[in-house]
Amino acid sequence: MLPEFANEAVLNFETPENRKKQLESLATVQSRLGREYDLVIGSSRLKGPRAFVSTNPGAKSQIIGKSQSASADQAVVAVETAAEAFRMWSRTPVEKRAEVLLNAARLLREKRFECNAWMILEVGKSWAEADADTAEAIDFCEFYAREAYRYSGPQPLTRYPGEENELRYIPLGVGAVIPPWNFPCAILVGMTTASVVTGNTVVLKPSSDSPAIAAFFMEILFAAGLPPGVVNFVTGSGASVGDPIVQHPKTRFVAFTGSKEVGLHINEEAARPRSGQIWIKRVIAEMGGKDFIIVDESADIDAAVKGVLASAFGFQGQKCSACSRAIVHQKVYDEFVRRIGPDAGRIQVGPTSDPSNTMGPVINERAMKTILEYIEDGKKGGRLIAGGKQTQGDGYFVQPTIIADVDPAARIAREEIFGPVLAVIRAKDLDDAIRIANDSEYGLTGAVYTRDPERIKRAKNECFVGNLYINRKCTGALVGVHPFGGFNMSGTDSKAGGRDYLLLFLQAKAISEAVK
């Protein structure tokens, strides 16, 4: 019996020992930059017809790694290899499958500082954000290993005379696992391990912004005892590699996390049956957000300012859960605006290899341009109270930006920007605030700051989001504690890190035997 699941504690980088270890691991990873990573299909390590590089968004000229742009044919071979491996892996006992996850968790703990370093360099996470990502990846391995045991055991059924009845959960088949770059370890690990611990096999296509971190985890999986063919690693662009994987008739399900646009495209592609296909593909899609924090007149304003800043600017606002709308009661609006602007201005922005920079770069040039365009657009209808500009440096740095007096119908109040931009919106009262909050095509996270118990009750009943927080920030969901996933265009209502998540990777078979 495994001990009860408990979350992995995050590291304190104020401790000299932890700082030293992180600096040492950064130096080690720096010495490994520029390596070439192969595709992994079955037992073969392969080159693609072309290759591409990933670079450090905080030091543009620094090449992190060279990865393969797989051909469509290689993507097809990967699906067929996974289908072949499914015969063996789907019959492998749960003990063996769970053991791989537990070994992976142990190895991630051992290589924790190295894992953090890859994220600090390849996607510009601050030390604390990188470490939280690694801790979440460890949690997914530990949590899903336990959950797999639970689903493999006897399931409750109503007794019936003359029969012995049983319900078994069995795997689906080959899954296309398509993660984003923003939780390049945790989300990739979560979707991959949920797939394999339930007996499925996988074609893993990581984001082209974070392929080296993905390759790092592939090595961990093999060291953890995963047999070849169970997870096949195929890098390349979404259109040239992602589409053939999603479309292949032997692909049984898709586990995707990313933008609304790509999620909808994948859903459409997966829905169309291809020649030889004998099932309806299942799509698990976790998509974008336009998350809010309501600050009520009764709120503790200090706490609210702190919570909004952490939620809006943690990892440069590049979290699906990031607060991009602060909806503030008119009675405390001026005070809130007066306090939050200067606090945002004190956030130190720069390369995250230096731990004093708590805000790093945005992921790439395209993202930076889009963010700056949104800021220009937002300034036309609102009042800039912090940031607003790109900052100097050899990276894609954007100041933490706050625009006040934003109309709830403005683009910056409605569209996901995915960068350090906060819109502050005035609300007449709590009714008005909840109405503005819910008036969104998304429904991922939200928070409400209020001291009034009646208003807390109302917020709990009326705010339509998958993850609602009261008197705390709206980011930082913990595996097992805050099952995570949103409503509406935020996805297919799944809950990563929750007790029903593995069901999405399983199908139930009822068996009835007549007995005398």
DSSP state string for 363-388:
S-HHHHHHHHHHHHHHHHHSEEEE--
Q: Are the CB atoms for 211 and 37 separated by under 8 Å?
A: yes
Nearer to ligand NAD, 56 or 318 (CB): 318
Nearer to ligand NAD, 11 or 444 (CB): 444
Q: How many residues bind ligand NAD (CB under 6 A)?
A: 34
Q: Among residues 122, 129, 136, 286, which one is catalytic?
A: 286
| Using rule CB under 6 A, residue 323 touches ligand NAD | no
* Cα 96–Cα 100–Cα 105 angle in degrees, nearest 5: 145
286 in active site: yes
Q: Among residues 320, 323, 463, 474, which one is catalytic?
A: 320
Q: Measuring CA to CA, which residue among 68, 64, 42 is closest to residue 55?
A: 64
Q: Which of residues 155-184 bind ligand NAD (CB under 6 A)?
A: 178-183
For ligand NAD, which residue of 80, 84, 99, 243 counts as binding (CB under 6 A)? 243
| 375/397 Cα distance (integer angstroms) | 14
**What is the nearest approach in angstroms of ligand NAD to the Cβ of residue 241?**
7
| Using rule CB under 6 A, residue 320 touches ligand NAD | yes
Nearer to ligand NAD, 203 or 403 (CB): 203
Q: Which of residues 255-274 bind ligand NAD (CB under 6 A)?
A: 257-259, 262, 265-266
| Using rule CB under 6 A, residue 244 touches ligand NAD | no
| Using rule CB under 6 A, residue 421 touches ligand NAD | no
Nearer to ligand NAD, 103 or 208 (CB): 208
| Using rule CB under 6 A, residue 286 touches ligand NAD | yes
**What is the nearest approach in angstroms of ligand NAD to the Cβ of residue 36?**
19
| Using rule CB under 6 A, residue 69 touches ligand NAD | no
Decide: helix, strand or coil at residue 96. helix
Decide: helix, strand or coil at residue 439. coil
For ligand NAD, which residue of 65, 288, 317, 341 counts as binding (CB under 6 A)? 288
Long-range Cβ contacts of 41-50 (<8 Å, 24+ apart) = 41/74, 41/77, 41/78, 41/81, 41/232, 41/233, 41/234, 42/81, 42/84, 42/85, 42/228, 42/229, 42/232, 43/228, 43/229, 46/74, 48/74, 48/235, 48/236
Q: Measuring CA to CA, which residue among 304, 266, 296, 292 is closest to residue 427?
A: 296
| Using rule CB under 6 A, residue 132 touches ligand NAD | no
| 11/13 Cα distance (integer angstroms) | 6
Nearer to ligand NAD, 85 or 191 (CB): 191
| Using rule CB under 6 A, residue 287 touches ligand NAD | yes
Nearer to ligand NAD, 173 or 486 (CB): 486
Q: Give, in order, the Cα–Cα distances in Å from 197 to each of 1, 213, 216.
A: 17, 21, 19
Nearer to ligand NAD, 268 or 335 (CB): 268
DSSP state string for 318-338:
-STT-EEEEEEEHHHHHHHHH
| 477/183 Cα distance (integer angstroms) | 12
CB-CB neighbours of 504 under 10 Å: 19
Q: Which of residues 473-502 bind ligand NAD (CB under 6 A)?
A: 485-486, 490-491
| Using rule CB under 6 A, residue 195 touches ligand NAD | no
| 513/516 Cα distance (integer angstroms) | 10
Where in the sequence numbering do the catalytic residues fall?
Answer: 286, 320
Binding site for ligand NAD (CB under 6 A): 178-183, 187, 205-208, 238-239, 242-243, 246, 257-259, 262, 265-266, 286-289, 320, 416, 418, 444, 485-486, 490-491
